[in-house]
Structure 1
Amino acid sequence: MRELTYYVALSLDGFIASPGGEFDAFLAEGDHMGPLWERYRGTAPTALARSVGLEVEDGPFDTVVMGWNTYGVGLPDHHLADPYQHLRQIVFTRSHVAPAGSDGVTFTDADPVETVRALKQEEGRGIWLCGGGALAAELADEIDRLALKINPVLLGGGVPLFGQRPYAPSAWTREHTRAFESGVVLAEYARS
């Protein structure tokens, strides 16, 4: 069965984006970049990765799921209506319509839990939960793995890692931790 991995950057105080949805406070350069790409190849927009010579094929995921706010980061200024062309892309939204140029993206108002459960039953590689926090809160019980790129920055507010998830403790097992000179720490967990 396929697994859902929440692979995301976050601040020391647990935010994945600023109050306005930006994530430019996170480190985009440093000794962490190469090893993270090697481990999670294909987790950058196709055109961006190829423009800097990064291969997107043969990564751990063949499907990416995200909420509208995460998807919308690439619109309109960045012209990324079809960001992960090398992956099957599913965007959950209840009120937005597909923008021009998004032919490779599936937009749905279907229940995220039911959708992910169905995806897990299909053949293929892993499923990447790209964001955001509200969707992660809805899918918390379906997430099999956490891969957290903890950045050495405090945001003081913004989009929490798991949105407004109600109090519901669940145990996780640390599988791997790697600290980089940049200050970024990759912490990987599996559901216990």
Structure 2
Amino acid sequence: MRELTYYVAVSLDGRIAGPGDDFSAFPVEGDHIDMILRDWRDTLPAPGLQALGLAADHTRFDAVVMGWGTYAAGLPHGVVDPYPHLDQVVATRAHADHELPDGVRATADPLAEVRRMKAQEGVGIWLCGGGLLAASLADEIDRLVLKVNPVVLGKGPALLDGSYVPRFFERSAVTAYDSGVVVAEYERSW
């Protein structure tokens, strides 16, 4: 059975982006980037892999689930198939009729889709974002991997943007980088 891992960049105040899905405050240089390229290569979009001369290694993930906003971030740049190395699922009701390329499928029921995917054999499922989707899948999240960035944003989408329901996790690893980024890993306490 595959695990669902919410691997995401987050600010010190729990925001996964600024207003308007602005990611520009998160550092894109520093020693934490070497860790991403080495250990989390599956999470790089195809244009990034190509530009760096890298290939996905499928050591972490073979599938990704993302909300429409996360998927649509690449559309203005002509990126319609961001992770062709992964089984891609876009959770959307409003854009369910949007034409998607082969290898990218839409679902109006992300909870049922994630449960179906978790029951299949495979490496792992990456929950890519956003906060509303993460909240709807909160009971299915097995692992949190938070790239905590040394910035306070004040506004923007929350890590989980949902109802108050405490869910408990146990810390499994914490790594601090000279860039100021701290990667905190947690496993679900069932």
Pairwise TM-score range, normalised by the shorter structure: over 0.9
Runs (4 or more) in structure 1 with deviation over 6 Å come to none
Could you tell me whether the CA contact under 8 Å between 2:66 and 2:127 is conserved in 1?
Answer: yes
Question: The residue matched to 1:29 in structure 2 has which SS?
Answer: coil
- Give 1:44's aligned residue: 44
- Give 1:85's aligned residue: 84
CA displacement at 1:99 relative to structure 2: 4.4
Distance across 2 between alignment mates of 1:69 and 1:172: 27
Question: The residue matched to 1:42 in structure 2 has which SS?
Answer: helix
Between the two proteins, the alignment pairs up a number of residues equal to 188
TM-score, with structure 1 as normaliser:
0.94
After the TM superposition, which of the residue ranges 169-178 and 37-46 deviates more from structure 2? 37-46
Q: Which runs of 5+ in 2 are unaligned?
A: none
Distance across 1 between alignment mates of 2:50 and 2:153: 30
- Give 1:105's aligned residue: 104
- Give 1:177's aligned residue: 174
Distance across 1 between alignment mates of 2:6 and 2:58: 18
User: Considering only aligned residues, what root-mean-square deviation do their CA atoms show, in Å?
Assistant: 1.2
Q: Which has the higher helix share?
A: 2
CA displacement at 1:22 relative to structure 2: 1.8
Q: Residue type of the partner of 1:31?
A: D
Are 1:158 and 2:130 counterparts? no
Deviations 1:151-184 (Å, cap 9, x if unpaired)? Answer: 0111110000001x21111211000000000000
After the TM superposition, which of the residue ranges 178-187 and 18-27 deviates more from structure 2? 18-27
Percent of aligned pairs with the same amino acid: 55
Deviations 1:18-50 (Å, cap 9, x if unpaired)? Answer: 110121211111001111232212101112212
Distance across 2 between alignment mates of 1:47 and 1:185: 26
> Residues 43 and 149 of structure 1: is their aligned pair in 2 closer, same or farther, counting only changes over 3 Å?
same
Distance across 2 between alignment mates of 1:22 and 1:75: 15
Could you tell me whether the CA contact under 8 Å between 1:22 and 1:73 is conserved in 2?
Answer: no
- Give 1:12's aligned residue: 12
Q: Residue type of the partner of 2:78?
A: H
Could you tell me whether the CA contact under 8 Å between 2:58 and 2:123 is conserved in 1?
Answer: no
